[in-house]
Structure 1
């Protein structure tokens, strides 16, 4: 069956109303967009022999956000993209890193097609990313943070030879340069320049901050680069001090692994390459736990989903949520059943909706995982566990697997904790 026929059938039988509801007073949604690199990948388009243009799944996500933004009469007040916007680097190692003494060795990792440098990142993938975010530009405030795939260069660090150290069996990938990323999502690009809600940036916009109002409150969002160094954390803390008492959401590419641990992938450990980078546990100790306004931390990067809650130094909850669906591939199987043995992954259009209800007697966030490809939430797709459980949580029951993607976070102390952030009148979409 062709991709077009699949989409038409799904649209006919599963209406958008089943996974989209209008918000009431005190209710709003934050859209969370995990890794999109397999949608924008130049290898995943029909021109390259892929059975469909994967970019259309990415565009559908952006169209959904635009159509359901508060400015369009919907409930989405803010969108945050968690990095790995595109797939490929454009070079192996920038000269400044070679001058610092870094050396590249050939390895299994750098031979992978999604790792190898290719100029088509500039001619296909970056323009695709720009085109996608143009669909939501002007519709709502949003943030995009860089992931490891968004760096200009990657190389295999010569100090970590595969197999020599048991803790690094595959060696170590290193990353450098964000000129490509800044050219699309930097502070001076049309997406963010002179936007009132884009209130601060650092390192040309690699790190940034946004303000939005929803549900009767003012919110601060800070987007951080992967494994931020101390100067980045100090900058972020200075932004928080400019907005005292404002509930704060942090987005970064890597924080939790699928087991809910603050631990990086062994082959992608920025701190191991350069100790000035802070690993996730250090980010918790130095920054998240010390700033009482932070109540929510969002990340992606590691395939699967997890969550944890820890008390900060003031005794308040900090929810940490990870979601990444890049390994999902049912859209490929549907489009090319004769090629199902190929290990091509796409993402299947899955993303998160964090539906805040601050007017309820029990304030909470209802977390939904939705697919703009299947036109469904995880809990309403009968084949959800059949499609994905074996690769993501094979030991879980079907109910447990769905519960990992559809759950509720209690905000029982939100009103007292953030009373000073109340706003008298919140006009949707403003």
Structure 2
């Protein structure tokens, strides 16, 4: 089959709250070009909505826009963000509210396993009736993909489950999607960081941050190819390529335009993969402007081979004023 592509959809919370027409534009562009670009899936990095269960109208707006992907038979996989939880896991100016929890009842009401359990690509989930930790197997002529979407700051037991699934599908190339993993300047979120969710939010204090995910689990998987995340503000993109312990290059990519004008205008990242030539490239499309954008840090190119690589990373500090 040759090349295929998929779309990374970053934090849409400001779109579903204020500019749902721009989310619709994103979906319409994806469905219009799905055949031409061989778009095989859409991966949402979380924060579908802004106010959790307190504003069900935002979930209505998200469902209305994103249902276009279901109608076009394009798999949509969502890693929930902190704003998607029933009680949004957010910081406050005062003491951290101890009532924060990991409940995602409304998220699962609108984007639960019932949407995908009957699909041939659905693999399974960590917990029954909960879509926050699940995996899909996407099969093509020249490559098999294992895609794992994980909760915000995954619990250790979730990462142990990931370990089992990745080893079970050792002949698949692995993509991981989770809400917070990479920071804005090319580093993984780690202990001591001012913006580390573990150190800000009671509900996820016992989970794994990006550096813990990498050091304890992800770098040990020879078939891991990419990790995608969002969450952090105000900057918009960064990425790095590291070698796992088996010499495999791993693209780790952060994107989030929620702090830009109009909540990011519906920007999406298009990832193109050529398995026959071991090549992954990526670009950014703005559906509101109807054009690909050529800002520093937007385009990514990775030739992957097995063997050691020089660690590298890039980031971009962007302020949109148009």
Q: What TM-score does the superposition give when structure 1 sets the normalisation length?
A: 0.64
Contact 2:81–2:152 (8 Å) recurs in 1: yes
How many equivalent pairs are there?
297
In structure 1, the residue matched to 2:42 is 79
In structure 2, the residue matched to 1:15 is none
Alignment CA distance shift 1:325-1:214 (3 Å): farther
- Which has more strand, going by share of residues? 2
Contact 1:248–1:296 (8 Å) recurs in 2: yes
Report whether the alignment pairs 1:55 with 2:26.
Answer: no
Report whether the alignment pairs 1:151 with 2:75.
Answer: no
Q: How does 1:63-212 map to 2 (within 5 A)?
A: 63-70=28-35, 73-90=36-53, 118=54, 121-122=55-56, 124-138=57-71, 139-154=73-88, 174-187=100-113, 189=114, 191-203=115-127, 204-212=130-138
Contact 2:249–2:305 (8 Å) recurs in 1: no
Structure 1 residue ranges without an equivalent (≥5): 1-24, 45-53, 91-117, 163-170, 330-344, 380-401, 415-430
Report whether the alignment pairs 1:266 with 2:191.
Answer: no
Shift of 1:403: 3.1
Shift of 1:359: 3.1
Alignment CA distance shift 1:326-1:270 (3 Å): same
Shift of 1:268: 6.0
In structure 2, the residue matched to 1:352 is 269
Largest Rg, 1 or 2: 1
Shift of 1:68: 2.2
Report whether the alignment pairs 1:229 with 2:163.
Answer: no
Shift of 1:180: 1.0
CA RMSD of the aligned region, Å?
2.4
Q: What TM-score does the superposition give when structure 2 sets the normalisation length?
A: 0.85
Contact 2:182–2:253 (8 Å) recurs in 1: yes
In structure 2, the residue matched to 1:319 is 251
Contact 2:189–2:196 (8 Å) recurs in 1: no
Distance 1:403 1:366 in 2: 15
In structure 1, the residue matched to 2:13 is 37
